[in-house]
Amino acid sequence: MHTAAASTVQSQTLEERMANLAKANVVRTTRSLIKKELKRGELTLEGVLLPDLHRSVAKMRVDDLLRCLPNVGKTKAASTCRRLAIRPSLYVYQLSPPRRQQLVDVVSRFGKRPSRRSTD
């Protein structure tokens, strides 16, 4: 099998391949740090998605990004995607700015519960 990607890799010099690997490693490391900071609550989804999409987050899938948030697991991520009619397999960069804003708005209400008044 001869693919375009294989011929591109073969046509690169060792230095070009090493530079590309280093660049990819930086992106993966940055993405990993962002995921950890989201999980710990040090970063917010709004800070990552708005007003400009963070470059390292752009290639994450929506489902994966949601699951990085505190107290969000597989079920909550899936129900959020269903609620907003977003395919979980979409990459974040495929979401339009208004859709990213909708996602931020819905996620910002996760921790808020309506107050219950006692009927004494």
Say if 23 falls within a structural domain: no
Q: Residue 50's closest CA among 110, 109, 96?
A: 96
Low-confidence residues of the chain, pLDDT below 70? Answer: 1-9, 111-120
Cα dist from 16 to 8, 31, 93, whole Å: 11, 23, 26
In this predicted structure, what is the pLDDT of residue 33? 94
- Please provide the DSSP assignment of 96-107 as one string: -HHHHHHHHHHH
User: Domain range holding 83?
Assistant: 52-109
Say if 61 falls within a structural domain: yes
| Number of domains the chain is built from | 1
Say if 80 falls within a structural domain: yes
In this predicted structure, what is the pLDDT of residue 56? 84
User: Residue 101's domain is classified under what CATH number?
Assistant: 1.10.8.50
For the whole model, what pTM was predicted?
A: 0.75
In this predicted structure, what is the pLDDT of residue 96? 93
